[in-house]
Amino acid sequence: MSFGIRCWDSSGVMTFDSLSAVGGVTVDIVSTQGSLSVSSTVTRTYPEHAGRTIEVVDVSGWNFEPVTWSASSDYALGHPRVVFTLPAGGRWFLFVVLVK
Amino acid sequence: MTFGIRFENPGNTLVFDSGALHYRYFSKPSPTAVGSISGGVHTPYRFRVTLPSSSHVPMPAVRPVNGRVVKVRDVVPAGGGDWDIYVWSVTITGSDDQRDAVQVAPELYVFAPMIASSDQFGVRLFRQDGSVSFDSGFKPLMFRQTIAFSASAGGGSNWDTTPLPNQPDMTGFYQGDSSSVPSVAIPVILGSGGYSEANAELVNASEPADRWEYGWSLTSGGALSRRRLWAGTEKPSYTLDLAQSAGSEVAIQWQLAACTALVVEGSGL
């Protein structure tokens, strides 16, 4: 390793290597329940990450019910913003937001 | 940024930020309820995990295995620091029709937010509010690879004269797709495999017939694959359609959402 950072735990196991990490870092995890009766939205902004791109990964966004959700990201504010649109039905959603 | 440290990899991708939500490996729990398939209804495996704080949210990941389809279906808070994680996990049958699949226990890996470890040396970083964001005494959740799966849609030309649902192999349904070979020894996948709804067009009527979830598997060549997993029949009226469909043509259409698989090294966890 000629540059970067690595960490080891007390037993000598490497726990972090900046050269092996890809995909960005987790800046938010959105665990939210949709409304029972109407569709709803959840908006998150990340002003501390102006100039970077974001990606939303759904961990359990799909289910037995034929529900549709969306996660729309934009940078109109000068920093990342995500608007989650959740269907009615009251089910739980779990999303991970990554900044790259 | 006015506080803390950040690292980028050589591709200028952010790989570390002391202000971020760093996660750590938490546990590989055993199921508290075993899944089953009965009467065409899938009941998922249930895992209960208890996190150190009621404000913590778990991140579940599953290990894909050749010959199986596995998928995190639901992550639901159960009060306090308890969370219930529901996982579908079935064998891929010879007919590749997971209606008659057999449930098989999945390997679930749970990650939780960083806290302070008991290690007496190493690196510990804090956010501006004083909370611990990273501690080298834990195994941090580190994404080793991202694999993108495109949205797909199709059907219409996949006519089949065999009445549903008795087709031994529903070739009209999208079987799934595969992408890169994971770059780690034991791939563990974060991310949903997507969802597909199939429409069977019967006697000039279009009725949603079957729903398919897509979960993770590995091909025999080791590529990550998302494969269909039968989730259920849409409507009781489907039965009525069946009565009319003997010998008639059935058109199947499906659509499948794009998704991203985050690959984590499971070796050593």
Record: contact B262-A96, CB cut-off 8 A: yes
Name the residue of chain A whose CA is nearest to B119's CA.
A10
Establish if A1 belongs to a structural domain.
no
- Indicate the pLDDT class of residue B254, thresholds 50, 70 and 90: low
The pLDDT of residue B210 = 58
B 105-134 residues with CB below 8 A of A? Answer: 117, 119-123
| pLDDT class of A42 with cuts at 50, 70, 90 | very high
Q: B188 falls in which pLDDT band (50, 70, 90)?
A: very high
Q: Supply the ipTM of this predicted assembly.
A: 0.90
Task: Considering only the beta carbons, identify the residue of A8, A9, A25 that sits closest to B16.
Answer: A25
Q: Do B20 and A99 touch (CB under 8 A)?
A: yes
Of A31, A57, A62, the CB nearest to B57: A31
Instruction: List pLDDT tens digits, range B62-73.
Output: 999 998 989 998
In a domain, residue A12? The reply is yes
Output the average pLDDT for chain A: 86
- pLDDT tens string B126-151: 988 889 999 989 999 989 999 988 87
Contact criterion met (CB < 8 Å) for A59 and B145: no
| Residue B72, token pair as written in the block | 């995190």
Q: How distant is the Cα of B218 from the closest Cα of chain A, in angstroms?
A: 19
A62 — pLDDT class (breaks 50, 70, 90): low
Please compute the mean of the pLDDT values over residues A53-74 and round it to a whole number. 77
**Cα angle B147, B152, B158; round to 5:** 135
Any domain includes A82: yes
Closest approach of B140 to chain A, Cα-based (Å): 6
8 Å CB contact of B122 and A64: no
Q: Cβ contact (<8 Å) for A9 and B22?
A: no
Contact list in A for residue B257 (CB cut-off 8 A) is 62
Which residues on chain A are in Cβ contact (under 8 Å) with B9?
A: 4, 18-19, 21-22
Chain B closest-CA separation from residue A79 CA (Å): 13
- Burial class from Cβ neighbours inside 10 Å (0-12, 13-18, 19+) for residue A85 reads middle
Structure-model confidence comparison of residues B105 and B128, the more confident one:
B105
Contact present, B153 and B256 (Cβ < 8 Å): yes
For residue B264, the chain A residue with the least C-alpha distance is: A21
The closest CB to that of B136, out of A8, A20, A27, belongs to A8
Express each pLDDT in A6-37 by its tens digit.
888 888 888 888 888 887 889 999 999 888 88
What is the pLDDT, as a whole number, of residue B161?
Answer: 41
Are A61 and B120 a contacting pair at CB < 8 A?
no
> Rounded distance, CA A49 to CA A40, Å?
26
How close A7 gets to chain B, by Cα (Å)? Answer: 6
Q: Name which of A59, A67, A97 to mutate to probe chain B: the one with the most chain B Cβ atoms within 10 A of its Cβ.
A: A59
User: Which residues span the domain enclosing A36?
Assistant: 6-98
Interchain proximity B57–A94, CB inside 8 Å: yes
Asked if B145 is an interface residue toward chain A (Cβ–Cβ < 8 A), one would say yes
Residues with Cβ within 8 Å of residue B38, at least 6 apart in sequence:
none
- Our count of domains for chain A comes to 1
Instruction: Answer yes or no: do B16 and A21 touch at CB < 8 A.
Output: yes
